[in-house]
Amino acid sequence: MINAKLKKSLEINFPKQRRMSFLIALFSLLIYICLYSYIDSTLAYSWIFGLLVGFTLQRSRICFTAALRDPILFGMTELARAIILSLFIMTIGYFLIQIYQLSQGLPLPGRFVTLGWHIPIGALIFGIGAALSGGCASGTLVRIGEGFRLQWIALLGFIFGSTHGAYDGDRWYRLFTDIDFPHLPNLIGWRWAILIQLLLLIILYVLAYLWEKYKFG
């Protein structure tokens, strides 16, 4: 009698899918421990980082393609503004980290790509692909986790395309210019770099807000 009641309460409080999620979370922790103790701590941290990011992206429905698309197509900028806010925090954080790293003589963290026409062309192709496949790189991965069979195909295409692009890579990289370290502080100095970037983000945020006001009256 009590047992049945307990079972029912368990069923309501911890339904099947939720139980599965706890199980998978536990299993993920196990993988973390294995990675940390037997292979490499960086891989273990990457794994945890991926879990947290995937969880956050799914829970908050953040999709980068949507952030690029919704302002123009539908006039909705809430998501785009959230990304801008995120970039704002990231910029300040990265700025501090980079200054600290430099002062300690450590390597500068960040993503720097040699400038050239390959960036606009690649970005354009990437954008078209992201719109067609219904999700950017992170969106595709999140949606695979959500159970979309369609995104398996997208990932397959992504891998094919990446490999194809890698094969063609050196042909495109002839478009490289001399600016191989496009770090803004390197180009215009630390003070101007952070000032201009933060100002630009604020302007974009305000413009997005006004655009939505205009679109929805």
Partner 1 sequence: MSGRLQSLKDDKTFYQLVISQAIDRPWPYWFGGILLALFNLLYVIITGHYWGISNNLARWGAWVLEKVGVNSSQWIVWTYYDYYTEPWLDKQTWSNLGIIIGALIAILLTQNFKLKGIKDKKQFIMVLVGGWLMGYGSRIAIGCNIGGLYSSISSLALNGWIYLPFAITGVYFGNKIIMKLLL
Partner 2 sequence: MNILDCIGEPCPLPLMKVEKRIKDLNRGDKIYIEVDHTCAMTNVPEWARKRGYDVEVEEVSFGEWKITVTKR
Judge contact between 95 and 194, C-beta under 8 A: yes
Q: Please give the structure tokens belonging to residue 157.
A: 């295409």
Q: How far is the CB of 103 from partner 1 (least distance, A)?
A: 15
CB under 5 to 8 A by kind: which of partner 2, partner 1, none does 54 bind? partner 1
Distance CA 112, CA 182 (A): 6
- Strand, coil or helix: 182: coil
- H or E segment and range at residue 80: helix 78-103
Q: What angle do CA 61, 64, 65 make, to 5 degrees?
A: 105
Q: Considering the rule CB under 8 A, would residue 71 count as an interface residue with partner 2?
A: no
Positions in 103-142 near partner 1 (CB under 8 A): 106-107, 109-115, 118-134, 136-138, 140-142
* Smallest separation (angstroms) from partner 1 to the CB of 214: 18
**Which residues have a Cβ under 8 Å from the Cβ of 4 and sit 6 or more positions away?**
none
Enumerate residues 6+ apart whose C-beta is below 8 A from 155.
140, 141, 144
208 sits near partner 1 (criterion: CB under 8 A):
no
Tokens for 48?
A: 């945890």
Out of 158, 205, 208, 212, point to the residue binding partner 2 (CB under 8 A).
212
Q: Indicate which single residue of 37, 166, 214, 217 sits in contact with partner 1 (rule: CB under 8 A).
A: 166
Residue 127 sits in the site that holds partner 2 (CB under 8 A): no
In the bound state with partner 1, the residue whose beta carbon lies nearer, of 169 and 210, is 169
| Per-residue x/- track, 60-79, partner 1 (CB under 8 A) | xxx-xx--xx--xx----xx
36 near partner 1 (CB under 8 A): no
